Amino acid sequence: MTIVTDRPIAVIGAGTLGRRIALMFATGGGVVRVCDLDAGQRAAAAAYVERELPAVLASVPGSSAAEVELTDDLAAAVAGAWLVVESLPERLDVKIPVFAQLDQLAPADAILATNSSSYPSSEVIAEVTRPERVVNLHFFMPPGARACELMSCGRTDPEVIERLRGALPRFGLSPYVAQVESRGFIYNRIWAAIKREALMVVAEGVATPADVDALYVEVTGQKDGPFRKMDRVGLDVVLDIEENYAAHRDGVPESPRELLRSYLAEGRLGMKTGRGFYDYGGQA
C-alpha cells in the first residue's frame, strides 16, 4: 500500500468536523474532495475553508494550498484517492453501509478511515471485504486542536498505521497511536468522565453551565469549560456518543443524557444552531 502525495484525499461529510478535517488536509497541496449530500453543508464547508485556510497555511511549515472540491457524488469523491476519511453522524446504521460503498468505490490501495470518536473501526467493517485497510483516524477540533488518534480495527495492516503516523505531520497534525482497541480511544475516555460529571452537576441543580465553565477555566487555566466545548462539538453529537457509551458500559448514569435531550427538544444543538448551553445571538 503506497501513499502518493499527488493523489487526492477525500473527506466524507461536510459537517462541523468534516470541514475542519478538510481544512487541515488542504495545507498539503494537491486536491482535497469533500462529499456531502446536503448542498447547504457543502456551501458552508467551502466558505469555512476559504476563510480559515490562509491563517492555517501560515502556521504549518512547508505547507501549500490544495484545491478543494465539493461534491455530492461518493464515487467522484473517492476516485483516485489514497486516503478517505469518513466524518458522518455517530450511528452504525449510517457508517456500515457507507464503508461498504467505500470498499467498492475507492481504489484498492486507498486507506479507509473513520473519524468516529466512540465506535472502534472494527464495528464499521461488517460489509467490508478488505478490512486490513480500515483504521480509526480520530480528530478533535482542528485547527485549534491538531492532535489525532490512530487505532487498529483489529485487522488493520500495521503498515497503514505507520504510513499515517509518518504522513499526518505534513498536514500540521500530531498523531498518537492507541496500542489496543479502546472505546473512546485515549483522550476521550478521560474527557468523557469530565463531561459526564459536569452534566450531572447541572442536572442535579448544583450549578449552572456558566458557573461550571468559569470555575473549570479558573482552576485548570484552559481556554474553555466543558459546556462551551460541548456547544462547539454539537449537543446532538455529544448525546449520540453518550448513548453509545451507555449501550456498552455498565453504570453510565442517565441524568446527563436526560439533560442533553431536554436541550435538543428545544432545538438547542450548540453553536451550529446559535443556541446550546449558551446563546450565540442566533448566529450558528
Q: What pLDDT digit, counting tens, does each position of 96-138 carry? A: 999 999 999 999 999 999 999 878 999 999 999 999 999 999 9
Please provide the DSSP assignment of the chain as one string: ----TTS-EEEE--SHHHHHHHHHHTTBSSEEEEE-S-HHHHHHHHHHHHHHHHHHHHHSTT-BPPEEEEES-HHHHHTT-SEEEE---S-HHHHHHHHHHHHHHS-TT-EEEE--SSS-GGGS-TT-S-GGGEEEEEE-STTT--EEEEEE-SS--HHHHHHHHHHGGGGT-EEEE-SS--TTTTHHHHHHHHHHHHHHHHHTTSS-HHHHHHHHHHHH--SS-HHHHHHHH-HHHHHHHHHHHHHHSTT--SHHHHHHHHHHHTT--BGGGTBSSSB-TT--
Instruction: With a cut of 70, say whether residue 283 has pLDDT above it.
Output: no
Domain membership of residue 164 (yes or no) is yes
Q: Which residue has the higher pLDDT, 188 or 134?
A: 134
Give the residue among 195, 183, 179, 154 at the shortest CA–CA distance from 249.
183
Which residue range forms the structural domain that includes residue 200? Answer: 189-273
Percentage, residues of the chain above pLDDT 70: 97
pLDDT score, position 6? 81
Domain membership of residue 3 (yes or no) is no
pLDDT score, position 80? 97
Q: Note whether 246 and 136 are same-domain residues.
A: no
Q: Note whether 172 and 198 are same-domain residues.
A: no
Distance from C-alpha of 83 to C-alpha of 230, rounded to nearest angstrom? 29
Instruction: With a cut of 80, say whether residue 1 has pLDDT above it.
Output: no
Q: What is the domain-level CATH number for residue 227?
A: 1.10.1040.10
- Point out the domain boundary residue: 142, 177, 212: 177
- Contact of 276 with 235, CB cutoff 8 Å: yes
Q: Note whether 21 and 123 are same-domain residues.
A: yes
pLDDT score, position 249? 87
- Point out the domain boundary residue: 124, 157, 177: 177
pLDDT score, position 282? 53
Domain membership of residue 165 (yes or no) is yes
Domain count, the chain: 2
Domain membership of residue 224 (yes or no) is yes
Q: Note whether 112 and 248 are same-domain residues.
A: no
Read off the pLDDT of residues 200-229 as tens digits, 9 standing for 90 and up: 999 999 999 999 999 999 999 999 999 999
Q: Note whether 196 and 170 are same-domain residues.
A: no
User: In the numeric block, which cell numbers belong to residue 211?
Assistant: 458557573
Read off the pLDDT of residues 59-105 as tens digits, 9 standing for 90 and up: 999 999 999 999 999 999 999 999 999 999 988 999 999 999 999 99
pLDDT score, position 5? 64
- Point out the domain boundary residue: 177, 202, 224: 177
Instruction: With a cut of 60, say whether residue 139 has pLDDT above it.
Output: yes
The confidence band for 284, taking pLDDT boundaries of 50, 70 and 90, is very low
The confidence band for 4, taking pLDDT boundaries of 50, 70 and 90, is low
pLDDT score, position 155? 94
Q: Note whether 194 and 97 are same-domain residues.
A: no
